[in-house]
Amino acid sequence: MVFLVQKYGGTSVGSTERIKQVARRVANFQAQGHALVVVVSAMSGETNRLISLAREIQAEPDARELDTILSTGEQVSIALLAMALHTLGVKAKSYTGSQAGITTDSAHNKARILKIDEKYIRADLAAGYVVIVAGFQGRDDAGNITTLGRGGSDTTAVALAAALKADECQIYTDVDGIYTTDPRVVANARRLKTITFEEMLEMASLGSKVLQIRSVEFAGKYQVKLRVLSSFEEHGEGTLITFEENKQMEQPIISGIAFNRDESKITIVGVPDHPGIAYQILGPVADANIDVDMIIQNVGHDGTTDFSFTVNRNEYSKTMSILKEQILPHIGARDVIGGNQIAKVSVIGVGMRSYAGVASNMFRVLAEEGINIQMIATSEIKISVVVDEKYMELAVRILHKAFDLDQEK
């Protein structure tokens, strides 16, 4: 017997017909003697429908009330999947995040899981039930409904796998694994059989959108065996995320090209160049629960410097207001400028640690196509550049080719 936590995303449960397919798949696993906890997302489109409804009432919906609304999407899915399993003669029981004992902090719309009281689920598993848990949601200590933010269902699955010590956490999605880049942008992108945890982290955070970044962090922290598979294929093996450093010798230099269109850039011009200034700028932004992605500060001159960072495009105007109202008046900077017609493109690979020249190669390829680089940030296993949004797809394609990612190695 293997104990699996499986997660099915919004597309996999996008219609009652698809929910029945998921039920048949789950029933097959159970028939093979496996124990199963199944995490599901809202039916595809449902979360957007609910957000639109909320915005008809309030342009920037109250965070607590929005969570109360959004959590209904998964609540419907879990019950429908339980019913579908009942029709197949499989004992199954649904749990909302709150019912599953998933306690989070109180950061509505982007809450973090603090603990899971798994005794209810354990009891049902022992009694032979397939346990179905609503992804993406929990409750705080005061009983308020919280959500984990987009993609949070992956985090729910990994957190449950960690708490319940599952043998494997399987993320079923509409793709059959992790690719060298998005096949919709580069036709001959290839599926990777394995990817290291660190590469996956970079791929996810940079918008490859297969797995939610926090779920990968979680998996790394708790050593959860994590696999991405297609919910539309019967016998795919997907991509396994590995945590063993020493297997990386066989890795190619570059694993993939990631990109993200949901970014916006903000630059504070003429910041007095003295200690503590970065905190003065980013403290209030973090307090407003806005995630900052790239942060760039170059060497200053004449006692001032320019400080740039990127945030999600949805939070661009909110961030600009905070900067203009709360920060600029206090720090004596000259101006705040920004833009949201940008995209981020990154090359990723654990292998690049031991190879020089990846960055210069990347910049050369972009220059040859006349693509201007607006910002650069690097880490040991990735190099990211911000470019004009309209060049994004071109940049991804030429980099995928330049690093031979279309060749099986």
User: Can you give the binding site for its own copies, defined by CB under 8 A?
Assistant: 16, 19-20, 50, 53-54, 56-58, 61-62, 64-66, 68-69, 71-72, 75-76, 78-80, 82-84, 86-87, 93-94, 96, 98-99, 120, 143-145
Question: 344-382 burial string, b = 16+ CB within 10 Å, else e?
Answer: bbbbbbbbbeeeeebeebbeebbeeeebebbbebeeebb
* Minimum distance from residue 68 beta carbon to its own copies (Å): 4
316 is in an annotated binding site: no
310 strand-pairing partners: 265
Comparison of 72 and 280: residue with beta carbon closer to its own copies: 72
Distance CA 246, CA 252 (A): 14
* Minimum distance from residue 82 beta carbon to its own copies (Å): 5
Comparison of 123 and 367: residue with beta carbon closer to its own copies: 123
Distance CA 374, CA 362 (A): 14
Comparison of 91 and 397: residue with beta carbon closer to its own copies: 91
| DSSP E strands, 105-247 | 113-116, 130-134, 137-139, 145-147, 168-173, 178-179, 191-192, 194-196, 226-230, 239-242
Distance CA 300, CA 306 (A): 7
Q: What is the DSSP letter of 10?
A: T
10 is in an annotated binding site: yes
Comparison of 134 and 189: residue with beta carbon closer to its own copies: 134
* Minimum distance from residue 111 beta carbon to its own copies (Å): 16
> Please, which residues have CB within 8 angstroms of residue 197's CB and are 6 or more apart in sequence?
216, 219, 220, 241, 242, 243
Consecutive H or E run containing 339 = strand 335-339
Closest CA to 103 of 95, 111, 113: 113
Comparison of 82 and 342: residue with beta carbon closer to its own copies: 82
110 is in an annotated binding site: no
Q: How many CB atoms lie within 10 A of CB 395?
A: 24
279 is in an annotated binding site: no
198 is in an annotated binding site: no
Comparison of 61 and 349: residue with beta carbon closer to its own copies: 61
What is the secondary structure of 41-85 as a DSSP string? -PPTTHHHHHHHHHHHH-SS--HHHHHHHHHHHHHHHHHHHHHHH
Secondary structure of residue 362 in the 3-state scheme? helix
* Minimum distance from residue 153 beta carbon to its own copies (Å): 17
Q: Which two tokens stand for residue 297?
A: 């500060």
* Minimum distance from residue 69 beta carbon to its own copies (Å): 4
Secondary structure of residue 303 in the 3-state scheme? coil
Comparison of 28 and 87: residue with beta carbon closer to its own copies: 87
47 is in an annotated binding site: yes
179 is in an annotated binding site: yes
210 is in an annotated binding site: yes
* Minimum distance from residue 138 beta carbon to its own copies (Å): 14
* Minimum distance from residue 21 beta carbon to its own copies (Å): 12
Secondary structure of residue 279 in the 3-state scheme? helix
8 is in an annotated binding site: yes
Comparison of 50 and 211: residue with beta carbon closer to its own copies: 50
Comparison of 19 and 27: residue with beta carbon closer to its own copies: 19
174 is in an annotated binding site: yes
Handedness of CA 282, 285, 287, 290 (dihedral sign): negative
Q: % helix / strand / coil in the chain, to the nearest 5? A: 40, 25, 35
**Does residue 109 come out as left (phi exceeding 0), alpha (psi in the -120 to 50 range) or beta?**
left
* Minimum distance from residue 105 beta carbon to its own copies (Å): 18
* Binding residue ranges for substrate: 47, 74
* Binding residue ranges for ATP: 7-10, 173-174, 179, 184, 209-210
* Binding residue ranges: 7-10, 47, 74, 173-174, 179, 184, 209-210
